[in-house]
């Protein structure tokens, strides 16, 4: 390790309380969809301390709609600003985007939480709260890395572009807006919770809504109706089979440790209006994974024709076929070449800090990397603190040590990707 | 048939347009839970034309709560008045309650209706709209019968008590309030849609809410969570089995033509909050039938212990047992002695009008008869126009001819039950 590298790492180590404070401040501002404003204000307050050009803007739906990759159910980004901060390099280095999303998913059932989801606390080396892992922990690592470089007087040669974007959880319109505003680079790192594995391929995904029909009747003579709830059980079972068929096709060795490489998640179900009536409609919403080498269109038509085949299992669906909509969100898959320099530079930084070989895998979930690579032509690697299994869960937490360690790895990665004045 | 009986029937036959107009007016006023006021105003307008003591009152929750049979999720009956109208007899006859509920269930999915549910229309001898069958058609038959008697100068000996009650669809608090206000009689008729069969036993029922737990996770690694939606499918299947077990026990010949004598209906399902998350909770609401000879408490503990046994089928339920609440509504079953005079008098009236023997059955659904007989010690027979299978359905309708025919049968029944001055 170079002296300057050691200095940067030491700075981070000696400021871990600062890192925890920043993360708690970010988590304390609930930033679910449409409500990202106050958390972005915390980011902004931090960025204003840096020597950087800060750009804050509300994405324009009108502009976004011009882009073929835009797919969202949002009608406005009022009070949902994106932020970018550019530290201009002295020239001669490669440029780098550091991208993190500020939005978090809802907290789910409060009763499952042992703590208040938006009042973060630290217990036994873990910081608890919604978004600690996905992904305000990663964002904090980025900000700590940048601050460390600045505090230690590192002069980068390539441009460094930090982005705090909205709407990742709903399909990536925030990152798409950043691409459309002109932000591109020679490479990008997204510190989503990979448990410090390097994810060079990411599953894409899309949301679907399946409407299952029944025939209403009085509950006391329920046999005179047809329960949409019972029919929806057949639909769910059929989707489980489709998931098995789709995943059998995936042979990429990067997926060998992933239980289900491209899952189909049934996230919500809602049907019926009255306990004493037979339910006449059920709506099922979920998320269908897209393999790195698949197109969204191909996945859609496979699922649509699969559901159409339900009529061969149950005559009811012949007369009342399910309806499927691809609504709200879509995340493009991402596919980084296995020998790309991003991997090599990050591997070296990882080794310097951990003395170990990194694990290189494919991610079972989508990131904004799909938008950055497809729309922004910016190659993307995903690497960050926190474990996937914590994301979207009750009692979400991140290990403080992982947060600090990843900040150090990321700071060395930035120095060696962008290069710096010696 | 006596001359005066013929006169009454002729009056009804020659005023069928009036009957249809009244029914349409009642159906035109949407009277779902909490919104019964305007439909009751139509009833009141009609009653004010009669020689009767009219009583209009909003049931008091405070008073109702004193009664062990009260079970409702209502917190107020403001603007949900009950109505009773008493025509005092001249003495020496038996008293009779004519009881109909004014509330209707919601219209369900509007797209399934070919007509506007609350803009009734007549087509080919049928009147279409929410509540035509359940049970504003029956109420109209009662009002036509009473008007016919009055117009034809019939002087009853026994008291005749007409009741237009709220909240039947939610558990019978309206009728309970009428009982608590002192309305009792030697017998009662409730013109629920029996398709003019006589129902001397009625299934009771209760509402339940089952909460099924899961474990949330990111949809992309759904195998790290446990889907409450998938677990709820096991719960629903288990309830289907319980229904089979319970119905095998029922051997009463009155139920021999009923496909499922005491069904357990799963009416609503709701779970999950986000398409990309594994659902951590599902709530299932439904209606459990109570056989005429069962107590609600026995049914509750059978279902509770059945659900507890899920842990033997799936380890998950050992750690996360389902929770069950008996919420909102409960309808008591009703059990009229087979040789009760109500049946004999109604049978004679039926024969006079139809020249046929009536069908005597047990009903697969509950009525306010359970409250009238258990709380009010008033024996109850259920008989009315309209078919059960239309109740709570889209495109609900009633046959005009059945409405008129039942009005005639009911008018003869009243005359012969209460007796009249000759």
A157-166, A357-366, B158-167, B233-242: segment of lowest average pLDDT: A357-366
Residue pair A279/A228 in contact (Cβ under 8 Å)? The answer is yes
The three-state (H, E, C) secondary structure of chain A, written as one string: CCHHHHHHHHHHHCCHHHHHHHHHHHHHCCCECCCCHHHHHHHHHHHCCCCCEEEEECCCHHHHCCCCCCCCCCCCCCCCCEEEEEECCCCCCCCEEEEEECCECCCCCHHHCCCCCCCCEEECCEEECCCHHHHHHHHHHHHHHHHHHHHCCCCECCCEEEEEECCHHHCCHHHHHHHHCCCCCCEEEECCCCCCCEEEEECEEEEEEEEEECECCEHHHHHHCECHHHHHHHHHHHHHHHHHHHHHCCCCHHHCCCCCCCCEEEEEEEECCCCCECCCEEEEEEEEEECCCCCHHHHHHHHHHHHHHHHHCCCHHHHCCCEEECCCCEECCEECCCCCHHHHHHHHHHHHHHCCCCCEEEECCCCCHHHHHHCCCCCEEECCCCCHHHCCCCCCEEEHHHHHHHHHHHHHHHHHHHCECC
Q: What is the chain A residue with the closest CA to B168?
A: A276
What pLDDT shows up at residue A240? Answer: 97
- The two structure tokens encoding residue A413: 């990665």
What pLDDT shows up at residue A380? Answer: 97
Task: State the nearest Cα–Cα gap between B232 and chain A, in angstroms.
Answer: 9
Task: State the nearest Cα–Cα gap between A37 and chain B, in angstroms.
Answer: 21
Task: State the nearest Cα–Cα gap between B285 and chain A, in angstroms.
Answer: 5
Pairing outcome for strands A121-123 and A126-128? antiparallel
ipTM strictly over 0.85?
A: no
Q: What is the chain B residue with the closest CA to A291?
A: B220
Q: What is the chain B residue with the closest CA to A278?
A: B267
Which residues from chain B sit within 8 angstroms of residue A275, using beta carbons?
207-208, 265, 267-268, 285-287, 328-329
Check A276 against B267: CB less than 8 A apart.
Answer: yes
What pLDDT shows up at residue A338? Answer: 80
Check A366 against B273: CB less than 8 A apart.
Answer: no
Task: State the nearest Cα–Cα gap between A290 and chain B, in angstroms.
Answer: 10
Q: How does pLDDT run across B352-387, given as a tens digit for each residue? A: 999 999 999 888 778 999 999 999 999 999 999 999
Of A134, A168, A192, A243, which is the active-site residue?
A168
What pLDDT shows up at residue A256? Answer: 84
With CA atoms as reference, report the closest residue to A70 among A377, A392, A374. A374
Question: Nearest by CB to A270, which of B219, B270, B394?
Answer: B270
What pLDDT shows up at residue B199? Answer: 94
Q: Say how far residue B261 (Cα) sits from the centre of its chain.
A: 16
Phi and psi at residue A31, in whole multiples of 5°?
A: -130, 50
Question: Nearest by CB to A236, which of B229, B364, B389?
Answer: B229
Question: Nearest by CB to B280, which of A109, A205, A287?
Answer: A109
Task: State the nearest Cα–Cα gap between B114 and chain A, in angstroms.
Answer: 14
Check A275 against B281: CB less than 8 A apart.
Answer: no
Which residues from chain B sit within 8 angstroms of residue A230, using beta carbons?
236, 266
Check B207 against A276: CB less than 8 A apart.
Answer: yes
What pLDDT shows up at residue A386? Answer: 96
Of B29, B103, B134, B159, which is the active-site residue?
B103
Of residues B217 and A364, more confidence is placed in B217
- Residue B18, exposed/middle/buried by CB under 10 A (0-12, 13-18, 19+)? middle
Question: Nearest by CB to A233, which of B233, B260, B282?
Answer: B233
Which residues from chain B sit within 8 angstroms of residue A219, using beta carbons?
205, 263, 265, 267, 286-287, 365, 392
List of domains in chain B: 3-202+333-418 (3.40.630.10), 205-330 (3.30.70.360)
Question: Nearest by CB to B203, which of A220, A275, A391?
Answer: A220
What pLDDT shows up at residue B257? Answer: 82
Q: Tens place of pLDDT for every residue, chain A, 422 residues?
A: 899 999 999 999 999 999 999 999 999 999 999 999 999 999 999 999 999 999 999 999 999 999 988 987 789 999 999 999 999 999 999 999 999 999 999 999 999 999 999 999 999 999 999 999 999 999 999 999 999 999 999 999 999 999 999 999 887 999 999 999 999 999 999 999 999 999 999 889 999 999 999 999 989 889 999 999 999 999 999 999 999 999 999 988 888 888 999 999 999 999 999 999 999 999 999 999 999 889 899 999 999 999 999 999 999 999 999 999 999 878 899 999 888 999 999 999 999 999 999 999 888 778 999 999 999 999 999 999 999 888 888 999 999 999 999 999 999 999 999 999 99
Check A105 against B272: CB less than 8 A apart.
Answer: no
A103 is catalytic: yes
Which residues from chain A sit within 8 angstroms of residue B222, using beta carbons?
260, 263, 265
Interface test with B, best of A275, A283, A320, A368 (most B CBs within 10 A): A275
Using omega within 30 degrees of 0 as the cis cutoff, is the peptide bond preceding B135 cis? Answer: yes
Region B130-158 average pLDDT:
98
Task: State the nearest Cα–Cα gap between A6 and chain B, in angstroms.
Answer: 36
Check A224 against B389: CB less than 8 A apart.
Answer: yes
Check A274 against B392: CB less than 8 A apart.
Answer: yes
Number of CB pairs, chain A paired with chain B, less than 8 A apart: 238
Q: Say how far residue B111 (Cα) sits from the centre of its chain.
A: 25
Check B266 against A286: CB less than 8 A apart.
Answer: no
A168 is catalytic: yes
- As beta bridge partners, residue A83 has A56, A164
Of B168, B368, B399, B419, which is the active-site residue?
B168
What pLDDT shows up at residue A389? Answer: 83
Q: What is the chain B residue with the closest CA to A107?
A: B273
Check B216 against A394: CB less than 8 A apart.
Answer: yes
Task: State the nearest Cα–Cα gap between A273 and chain B, in angstroms.
Answer: 6
Check B216 against A393: CB less than 8 A apart.
Answer: yes
Collect all residues with Cβ–Cβ distance below 8 Å to B294 and sequence separation of at least 6. Answer: B204, B333
Which residues from chain B sit within 8 angstroms of residue A273, using beta carbons?
106, 108, 267-268
What pLDDT shows up at residue B99? Answer: 98
Check B364 against A220: CB less than 8 A apart.
Answer: yes
Task: State the nearest Cα–Cα gap between A222 and chain B, in angstroms.
Answer: 6
B253: confidence class by pLDDT, cuts 50, 70, 90? confident
Check A227 against B388: CB less than 8 A apart.
Answer: no
What pLDDT shows up at residue B25? Answer: 98
Check B105 against A276: CB less than 8 A apart.
Answer: yes
Of residues B402 and A392, more confidence is placed in B402
Region B260-270 average pLDDT:
96
Dihedral angle of Cα B298, B304, B306, B310, to the nearest 10 degrees: 180
Check A329 against B286: CB less than 8 A apart.
Answer: no
Q: What is the chain B residue with the closest CA to A276?
A: B287
Question: Nearest by CB to A218, which of B216, B268, B388?
Answer: B388
Interface test with A, best of B211, B215, B221 (most A CBs within 10 A): B221
Which residues from chain A sit within 8 angstroms of residue B215, using beta carbons?
393
């Amino acid at each position: 390790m170079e002296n300057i590298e050691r200095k940067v790492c030491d700075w981070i180590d000696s400021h871990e309380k600062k890192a925890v404070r920043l993360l708690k401040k970010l988590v304390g501002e609930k930033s679910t969809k449409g409500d990202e404003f106050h958390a972005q204000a915390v980011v902004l307050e931090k960025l204003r301390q840096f020597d950087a050009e800060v750009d804050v803007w509300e994405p324009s739906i009108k502009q976004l709609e011009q882009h073929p990759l835009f797919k969202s159910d949002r009608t406005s980004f009022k009070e949902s600003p994106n932020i970018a901060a550019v530290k201009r390099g002295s020239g001669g280095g490669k440029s780098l985007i550091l991208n993190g999303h500020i939005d978090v998913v809802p907290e789910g059932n409060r009763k499952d939480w042992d703590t208040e989801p938006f009042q973060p606390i630290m217990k036994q080396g873990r910081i608890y709260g919604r978004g600690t892992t996905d992904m305000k922990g990663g964002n904090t690592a980025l900000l700590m890395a940048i601050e460390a470089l600045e505090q230690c007087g590192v002069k980068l040669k390539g441009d460094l572009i930090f982005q705090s974007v909205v709407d990742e959880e709903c399909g990536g319109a925030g990152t798409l807006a950043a691409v459309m505003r002109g932000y591109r680079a020679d490479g990008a790192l997204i510190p989503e919770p990979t448990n410090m594995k390097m994810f060079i391929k990411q599953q894409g995904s899309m949301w679907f809504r399946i409407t299952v029909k029944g025939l209403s009747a009085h509950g006391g003579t329920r046999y005179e109706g047809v329960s949409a709830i019972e029919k929806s059980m057949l639909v769910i079972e059929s989707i489980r089979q489709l998931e098995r068929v789709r995943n059998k096709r995936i042979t990429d060795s990067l997926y060998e440790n992933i239980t289900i490489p491209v899952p189909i998640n049934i996230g919500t179900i809602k049907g019926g209006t009255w306990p004493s009536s037979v339910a006449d409609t059920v709506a099922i919403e979920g998320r269908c994974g897209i393999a790195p080498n698949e197109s969204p269109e191909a996945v859609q038509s496979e699922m649509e024709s699969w559901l159409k085949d339900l009529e061969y299992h149950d005559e009811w669906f012949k007369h009342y076929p399910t309806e499927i909509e691809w609504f709200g969100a879509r995340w493009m898959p991402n596919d980084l070449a296995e020998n790309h320099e991003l991997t090599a530079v990050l591997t070296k930084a990882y080794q310097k800090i951990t003395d170990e070989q990194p694990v290189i895998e494919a991610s079972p979930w989508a990131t904004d990397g799909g938008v950055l690579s497809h729309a922004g032509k910016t190659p993307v690697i995903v690497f960050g603190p926190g474990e996937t299994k914590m994301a979207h869960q009750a009692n979400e937490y991140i290990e403080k040590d992982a947060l600090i360690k990843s900040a150090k790895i990321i700071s060395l990665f930035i120095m060696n990707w962008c290069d710096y004045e010696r």
